[in-house]
Chains A and B, each alone.
Chain A
């Protein structure tokens, strides 16, 4: 009796989530591939599925039209793709530059201060990114807080255009993703044994030297983890380019949205989504490879 209970329990525990995830995660992706090879038409739904089974049997007629369309109007699609990579890359870089000293400071602080600083990092991590982006708009708007202050202080006469620029995108990305960069960096820096730093000092290394030869190389796993955690969602970001960016800051996440909701071209939206997945897989594979090399 007990044996069967255990046996059944085991199957239950494995297969329940497995079936759910195959059904609601794998299958949607497969369907998305299907739609990306389908023919667009003016109907509900607005496409003719490439693979179909219905009352009149199974039919399979893939068309590459959507990918050809993306290729043909590459300025409209490739450019946002490059833009996504560019904006995500520099956002990741800025996050790293700010997060490293923060994580370092937290890791080297004594207990009470360390706890306070960690909580200060965790609170924005848990609060809605949408609301924080909204708060940022209030700062950057032409009639927002910063321009108000600057005009009031007499530094400028007309407001500076900060919204819909790369600057606003980077501010939004940093505000949104900074905690995701700090946490893995902190984890790798706090693990660093202080006797290793002392050993380096004992062997004649100066502060900058210790940082370059000991602290920085030993925090590489944290740097890689943090960069992935920021870069991946940043590439596919929708809210930030939608709220803070202009036409110059078009990113793939927003293009998918526009194709889908405004142009109602679902097959093209699906094809762009697949391109976006391809962009994301590359850094993950790279990080896996680095991990195998055995940095940690």
Chain B
């Protein structure tokens, strides 16, 4: 069976500059997919291509087996929620939401009941006569969502849907958005530069940089098995260091960095190969005395920052290996130890990520 949404080899060039470079991926019905990347990585351009506002230099875009590449924005079963919401300032909430419906074959009473239903969905019943400028940021966002959902699109595009909201409201709205998406079963593509937002919202994430789709996977895969330095660095905190493959032991690979390091035998490595290793801060244990565990060495503590639920440390090991590590305060023994000048770190072989690029 063909995938519900099929994006194939899409490229967009401005002169010599590639804004989007050969991006392909498929989505199933009902997925909440995030396009994650720094500003200028081409994610918004890709979104605008899917909405129909930009033409492609190359490639195709299909929904439900129907080619959409050259269809006018007005005729696509795709709707977009703009970053600045783009609410029509001269129309009321009601008029904004029914703008799209008026341009369908629905009758007046059908339109009215549909708008009521949508207002209920976004919890704005009773606000239908208000003008956009009298609404709060969160309310505007919900009107924009209702307006974009009104025509029952097969695909909803959301351009930085939460960027204009303040932090507290953002996390609330995040869950609400997920709830609505689940309830309706509409396929969502969310563009965001906020990795935390992408992680919490989506079923799958596509990381973009320089117009290319670098890695595609579930939030867990993206976080725990980043394939490139860029993805590892962009998503969450991480420390890097270089090592050379020494030998294969029966359960582990032995690598030589400043200190010997054991990594999981699952990796395909060759003796003598140079590799780049990465470690998530929360996977590293810090102790005041040596414990005798595998992958343990002494470090100097350079700096620490108290976060409430945990403490983040910056430490330097042998040969200037710099590590970031995070100790959660979930056990009394692990609580904040700022008096230490030096300490010992250890991490399990499975915690280590080997980056291909």
Answer yes or no: do A and B interact: yes
- State the A residues within 8 Å of B (CB): 193, 195-196, 198-206, 209, 213-214, 217-218, 295
A203-B79 in contact (CB<8A) = yes
B91 to chain A, nearest CB (A): 8
The answer for the CA separation of A123 and B88 in the assembled complex, in Å, is 35
- Residues of the B chain whose Cβ atoms lie less than 8 Å from the Cβ of A218: 89-90
Given contacts A202-B51, A204-B74, A209-B103, contact A217 B90 (CB under 8 A): yes
- Residues of the B chain whose Cβ atoms lie less than 8 Å from the Cβ of A209: 103
B84-A195 in contact (CB<8A) = yes
A199-B88 in contact (CB<8A) = yes
- Residues of the A chain whose Cβ atoms lie less than 8 Å from the Cβ of B73: 198, 201-202
B147-A203 in contact (CB<8A) = yes
Kindly report which residue of chain A lies nearest to residue B150, judged by CB atoms. Answer: A203
26 contacts between A and B (CB under 8 A): A193-B84, A195-B82, A195-B83, A195-B86, A196-B87, A196-B88, A198-B80, A198-B82, A199-B82, A199-B87, A201-B52, A202-B52, A202-B53, A202-B74, A203-B74, A203-B79, A203-B99, A203-B150, A204-B75, A204-B100, A204-B103, A204-B104, A204-B151, A205-B74, A209-B103, A217-B90
Known pairs A201-B52, A202-B51, A202-B74. 11 more at Cβ < 8 A? A193-B86, A195-B86, A196-B86, A196-B87, A196-B89, A198-B73, A199-B147, A202-B52, A203-B99, A203-B150, A204-B74
B137 to chain A, nearest CB (A): 16
A255 to chain B, nearest CB (A): 42
A203-B86 in contact (CB<8A) = no
The answer for the CA separation of A214 and B88 in the assembled complex, in Å, is 7
Interface residues on B, range: 20 to 34
Interface string of B93-116 (1 = CB under 8 A from A): 000000110011000000000000
The answer for the CA separation of A204 and B80 in the assembled complex, in Å, is 12
- Residues of the B chain whose Cβ atoms lie less than 8 Å from the Cβ of A195: 82-84, 86
A220 to chain B, nearest CB (A): 8
The answer for the CA separation of A204 and B102 in the assembled complex, in Å, is 9
A210 to chain B, nearest CB (A): 9
- Residues of the B chain whose Cβ atoms lie less than 8 Å from the Cβ of A205: 74, 99, 103
A178 to chain B, nearest CB (A): 27
- Residues of the B chain whose Cβ atoms lie less than 8 Å from the Cβ of A204: 74-75, 100, 103-104, 151
B47 to chain A, nearest CB (A): 11
The answer for the CA separation of A193 and B89 in the assembled complex, in Å, is 11
The answer for the CA separation of A199 and B103 in the assembled complex, in Å, is 13
B142 to chain A, nearest CB (A): 15
B80-A199 in contact (CB<8A) = yes
- Residues of the B chain whose Cβ atoms lie less than 8 Å from the Cβ of A206: 74
- Residues of the B chain whose Cβ atoms lie less than 8 Å from the Cβ of A196: 86-89
Given contacts A203-B99, A203-B147, contact A198 B90 (CB under 8 A): no
Given contacts A193-B84, A195-B84, contact A203 B103 (CB under 8 A): yes
Kindly report which residue of chain B lies nearest to residue A210, judged by CB atoms. Answer: B74
- Residues of the B chain whose Cβ atoms lie less than 8 Å from the Cβ of A201: 52-53, 72-74
A202-B79 in contact (CB<8A) = yes
A211 to chain B, nearest CB (A): 14
The answer for the CA separation of A201 and B86 in the assembled complex, in Å, is 12
B53-A198 in contact (CB<8A) = yes
The answer for the CA separation of A206 and B79 in the assembled complex, in Å, is 15
The answer for the CA separation of A203 and B104 in the assembled complex, in Å, is 10
B99-A213 in contact (CB<8A) = yes
B208 to chain A, nearest CB (A): 21
8 A Cβ contacts from B42-64 to A: 51-53
The answer for the CA separation of A196 and B86 in the assembled complex, in Å, is 5
Kindly report which residue of chain B lies nearest to residue A204, judged by CB atoms. Answer: B103
Which residue from A202, A213, A217, A295 sits with its C-beta under 8 Å from B80? A202
B82 to chain A, nearest CB (A): 5
